[in-house]
Amino acid sequence: MLGDLLNGLLNTLDISTLLIMSLCTMAGIVVGTLPGLSATMGVALLVPLTFGMEAATGLLALGALYTGAMFGGANSAILINTPGTPAAVATTFDGYPLTKKGQADRALITALLASVVGGIVGTIFLIFLSTPLANFALGFGPPENFWLAIFGLTIIGSLAGKSIIKGLIGGTFGLMLALIGMDPVSGYPRFTFGFYNLIEGINLLPAMIGFFSIPQVISMMERKDKYIAKYEERKGIYKKTISETLKRRMVLLRSSIIGTFVGMLPGAGGNVAGFVAYNETKRFSKNPKEFGKGNIDGVITSESANNATVSSSLIPLLTLGIPGSPVAAVLLGGLLIHGLQPGAKLFTESSGIAYTFVVGLLVANILLLLVGLIGTRFFAKAIAIPIHYLAPVIAVLAVIGSYSIRNSMLDVFVMLGCGLLGYFALKADITPGPIVLGLVLGVIAENGFVLSAVISETGPSMFTLFFTRPISLVLIILTVLSILGPLLLNLRRKKKDNPIDIDSTPHQKAGGE
Amino acid sequence: MKKFYLIGFSMLILLFASACAQLGTEVSSEDIESYPDKDVRNIVPFSAGGTTDVNQRIIESYWKDYFPENMVIEYYEGAGGEVGFTELSKAKADGYTMGSINTPHIILQPLARETQFEYDSFDILARLVHDPQVLAVKADSDIDDLDEFIEKVKEKPKSLSVGLTGTYTGDHLTTLKFMDTADVQVTPVPLAGSADQVKELLGGHIDAIMGNVGDVTKDLDQFNVLAIATEERHEWLPDVPTFKEQGIDLVAAIDRGLALPKDTPQEIHDKLFEALEQITSLPEYEEKMEDAGLVADFLPGDEWAELIEEQQKEAKEVLEKFDEIE
């Protein structure tokens, strides 16, 4: 295996391959940054271009683009409070407040480093542990998915901001949106009001663009400011931020591992990973109150988790041939066109290409670091664009992005509708985070529940299915802890002045400066 | 004065718009003669990178040898292909829009719900893929063959779950037909797609899947294919017995092909058909299709249309029998 890995590394370090990968990383960052152009779409657009390349080069190009796009999502999340990809929603929570404080550059550099660390950790898991992890992921059947979604909903507690009730209202609204569309079992259309495209349900991307970017655009116009926030290039910020981020070892590692595990679960993965990691980091943090107000840990955790999903979402694809995420499904097409059959035999029958690809993902992360470090200088300048240019540009991008997802005008109306709702919700202090979370998890929860009910017809009772399976039990315990945890922690803190501290203490201050 | 300009301007726009509309209604003989003089769009009603997309990409790679203009693949995914089928059926019948259709999808969707197209709303060019259905269990399942499967489920009706790619799909119809002919009751589990079928089966959450040859040949070691719904054994799965061999009269497949909107001029249809016939008979094409796990089986459009007509009647009967439709 070591030989294969070395061989793969040598294949990757070919100058033309590196050049293609760098270009694809840049393209990925652009695709990821623009709301509406998601990682999935970027990879889908690139697939036909890779047909002319060698199989390994083509796959590396796709991997580099995916890595770049996943980081790119953070740029717009931090600078204009609009996640460029659904996985970057959690980055907005602390990233944008940092921008408002005039620390956009610090947030961007941190996001970059966290992305690279997350990507590398995820890839290491992919290389060394893919088979056991894939088998673990297979253990997630309908009942487990249901509980995962329920666990995910408890995260609303940490997203809610000022008022838990308002967070719950947002979450419930998201869950209601998730009900629109065809009933997964009977095939009966619900709440579609005669729009035949709606039977597919509310598409996450236009809804997300609407909830985040439209209220942002409107509020930009309301305020009389000329710029989003003040920003001046500060000397030595790179060095300072890099050392500051790397010292947050526990946050980086924990978030990357959470991203790896949640990201590899087919169907549930990618979009939820950032939320789960954010929740855990907040729970373990000494200053949970600072989250949502510009705590740098919030950026670190979300970005390292979502970039860890890049590699881990490929685990079921490469080991079992099951595309677990939309991007993996597109990559599957790329593999098939090159005559590669993903699955257990990929690493034995086409080991050269397979190992080149996985090692190449490590190289892609290093390229991302280099390209990103040069890039952040320019990205940060985006806030130097006066609002009267920026707001229309964002509005136009939101419309084009929504339309281009599947050439559907209906998606544009969904985006606008969600945007208006989101604007008024925000006026009532209902933030978009819980709404989007509800929309994502509602679909997963419903499918898990209904399918379990169907399976229960074969013999096992609903109780056995939901409450006796080991992974379900763990998830139930996590859910209960997640609800009771904050209360218990508070009690403990009052008793002892020395709370559980997993993060390294001396740098605790860095988060809140 | 200003008003005058404004009215004049509006009139101009109206004129222009009506001129455009005029141009749009008829396909003149000159248009047919010069076809294609602009890009031809190809609607893929499923996601990018899926099997339909891969199939069309392979055709696209030879397209330029036959036509001066490009083929542009556009994705209209959603609702089991319904979004894309609708787009195709409503497109202008000038030969500049074609798209993929699948059976029994285009038959079942109009039967099951109100759709904006019918199974005969298309001018069918050709069938490209004929992917027979198979009943498979996990490789290490304690069910070894079809007899055991039927015995087990006869002993205790509904005790075995069979994963399908959604309700009112080919898998669903075939499972209903299987229950009808074998006189058994299984528990059909509608899942989001073929990837989910494989995932739930390998994870041990369901007992069997009603899938396609293309799904199981990706990694045959993972499955034990109990039976295939063909007249004779399939060359990709020579060891798998047919349902018929085992006394169950079940023949079913998912077919995929290309179609134009209804009433496309015959000359344009013929041009496209000839090119398709030549592309699909290239040895490299067949090789690429097999590499991608696609069971290529070319059939001219008129012959396929006849089959679809028969399938529609049969599907209607089966669905009515199971009270799935009124």
What tokens does A36 get? 């509406």
| CA of B146 vs chain A CAs: smallest distance (Å) | 18
Rounded Cα–Cα distance for residues B107 and B254 (Å): 12
Q: Minimal Cα distance from B218: which residue of A? A: A341
pLDDT tens digits for range A147-197: 999 998 988 877 776 778 888 999 999 999 999 988 888 878 888 887 777
Report yes or no: A500 and A490 within 8 Å, Cβ to Cβ: no
pLDDT tens digits for range B117-144: 888 889 999 999 999 999 999 999 999 9
Rounded Cα–Cα distance for residues B85 and B77 (Å): 9
Subunit contact B187:A458, Cβ cutoff 8 A: yes
pLDDT score of A334: 80
Query: CB-based contact (8 Å) between A331 and chain B?
Result: yes
pLDDT score of A505: 42
**Number of CB pairs < 8 Å for A and B?**
151
Does the pLDDT value for residue A66 go beyond 90? yes
Does the pLDDT value for residue A500 go beyond 60? no
pLDDT tens digits for range A189-246: 888 887 777 877 888 889 999 999 999 899 888 887 888 877 777 778 888 888 888 8
Mutation pick from A188, A337, A444 vs chain B, by most beta carbons of B within 10 Å, is: A337
Query: CB-based contact (8 Å) between A334 and chain B?
Result: yes
Which residues does chain A have within 8 Å of residue B219's beta carbon, measured at their own beta carbons? Answer: 320-321, 341, 343-345
Does the pLDDT value for residue A267 go beyond 80? no
B132-252: CATH, from 1.10.10.10, 3.40.190.10, 3.10.20.440, 3.40.50.12780? 3.40.190.10
Which residues does chain A have within 8 Å of residue B190's beta carbon, measured at their own beta carbons? Answer: 184-185, 187, 454
pLDDT score of A161: 66
pLDDT score of A489: 67
What are the residue ranges of helices labelled H in A350-408?
351-380, 387-406
Subunit contact B202:A322, Cβ cutoff 8 A: yes
Q: Minimal Cα distance from B153: which residue of A? A: A458
What ipTM was predicted for this assembly? 0.84
Partnered with residue B136 across adjacent β-strands are B209, B225
What tokens does A85 get? 């990809």
The predicted model gives B44-60 an average pLDDT of 81
Query: CB-based contact (8 Å) between A316 and chain B?
Result: yes
Binning pLDDT at 50, 70 and 90, where does residue B160 land? Answer: very high
| CA-based nearest residue to A60, from A365, A373, A371 | A365
B185-217 burial, b at 16+ Cβ within 10 Å, e below that, comes to ebbbbbbbbbbbbbbbbbbebbbbbbbbbbbbb
pLDDT score of A467: 92
Expressed in angstroms, the distance from the first to the final Cα of chain A is 46
Compute the mean pLDDT over every residue in chain B, rounded to the nearest whole number.
Answer: 86
Mutation pick from B205, B287, B291 vs chain A, by most beta carbons of A within 10 Å, is: B205
Query: CB-based contact (8 Å) between A49 and chain B?
Result: no
What one-character DSSP code corresponds to residue B298?
A: E
Is the pLDDT higher at B4 or at A118?
Answer: A118
Pairing of strands B97-103, B40-44: parallel
Query: CB-based contact (8 Å) between A454 and chain B?
Result: yes
Domain extents for chain B? 38-130+254-321, 132-252
Rounded Cα–Cα distance for residues A475 and A470 (Å): 9
Rounded Cα–Cα distance for residues A405 and B14 (Å): 32
Rounded Cα–Cα distance for residues A287 and A143 (Å): 35
Does the pLDDT value for residue A420 go beyond 50? yes
Report yes or no: A138 and A320 within 8 Å, Cβ to Cβ: yes
The predicted model gives A16-24 an average pLDDT of 93
Share of chain B above pLDDT 70, in %: 90
Rounded Cα–Cα distance for residues A477 and A458 (Å): 27
pLDDT score of B206: 94
Compute the mean pLDDT over every residue in chain A, rounded to the nearest whole number.
Answer: 86
What tokens does A46 get? 């690139």
pLDDT score of B196: 84
pLDDT score of A346: 81
Binning pLDDT at 50, 70 and 90, where does residue B23 land? Answer: very low
pLDDT score of B8: 62
CATH superfamily of the B38-130+254-321 domain = Bordetella uptake gene, domain 1 (3.40.190.150)
Report yes or no: B187 and B160 within 8 Å, Cβ to Cβ: yes
Helix pair angle (A409-427, A387-406), 10° resolution: 130
pLDDT score of A348: 79
Q: H or E stretch including A71?
A: helix A55-80
Report yes or no: A221 and A92 within 8 Å, Cβ to Cβ: no
pLDDT score of A78: 93
Report yes or no: A297 and A285 within 8 Å, Cβ to Cβ: yes
Query: CB-based contact (8 Å) between A448 and chain B?
Result: no
Burial of B233 (0-12, 13-18, 19+ CB in 10 A): middle
The predicted model gives B302-307 an average pLDDT of 90
For A113-122, A198-207, B124-133, B255-264, which range has the lowest pLDDT when averaged over its residues? A198-207
Partnered with residue B122 across adjacent β-strands are B261
Report yes or no: B45 and B103 within 8 Å, Cβ to Cβ: no
| CA-based nearest residue to B173, from B128, B112, B227 | B112
φ, ψ for residue B62, nearest 5 deg: -105, -10
Q: Minimal Cα distance from A406: which residue of B? A: B76
What residues contact B44, with CB distance under 8 A and at least 6 apart? Answer: B50, B52, B53, B56, B73, B74, B75, B76, B77, B84, B99, B100
Partnered with residue B225 across adjacent β-strands are B136
What tokens does A219 get? 């509020």
What one-character DSSP code corresponds to residue B246?
A: G
Report yes or no: B147 and B241 within 8 Å, Cβ to Cβ: no
Kindly write down the DSSP assignment for every residue of B149-173, as one continuous string. Answer: HHHHHHHSTT-SEEEESSTTSHHHH
Q: Is the peptide bond before B238 cis (omega within 30 degrees of 0)?
A: no
Is the pLDDT higher at A258 or at A324?
Answer: A258
Query: CB-based contact (8 Å) between A26 and chain B?
Result: no
Which residues does chain B have within 8 Å of residue A197's beta carbon, measured at their own beta carbons? Answer: 78-79, 83
pLDDT score of A222: 87
pLDDT tens digits for range A326-381: 888 888 878 877 778 777 778 877 778 888 998 999 999 999 999 999 988 888 88
| CA-based nearest residue to B189, from B163, B217, B218 | B163
The predicted model gives B252-269 an average pLDDT of 90
Chain centroid to Cα A192, Å, comes to 28
pLDDT tens digits for range A427-449: 998 989 899 999 989 988 998 99
Is the pLDDT higher at A298 or at A506?
Answer: A298
What tokens does B44 get? 């893929």
Subunit contact A326:B47, Cβ cutoff 8 A: yes
Kindly write down the DSSP assignment for every residue of A109-173, as one continuous string. Answer: HHHHHHHHHHHHHHHHHHHHHHHHHHHHHHT--HHHHHHHHHHHHTTHHHH-TT-HHHHHHHHHH
Which residues does chain A have within 8 Å of residue B54's beta carbon, measured at their own beta carbons? Answer: 333, 336-337
Subunit contact B48:A447, Cβ cutoff 8 A: no
The secondary structure of A296-350, three-state, reads HHHHHHHHHHHHHHHHHCCHHHHHHCCCCCHHHHHHHHHHHHCCCCCCCCHHHHC
Kindly write down the DSSP assignment for every residue of A419-439, as one continuous string. Answer: HHHHHHHHHTT--HHHHHHHH
| CA-based nearest residue to A226, from A76, A95, A383, A82 | A383
Q: Minimal Cα distance from A329: which residue of B? A: B49
DSSP-based three-state secondary structure for B224:
strand
What residues contact A370, with CB distance under 8 A and at least 6 apart? Answer: A22
pLDDT tens digits for range A276-290: 999 889 888 888 888
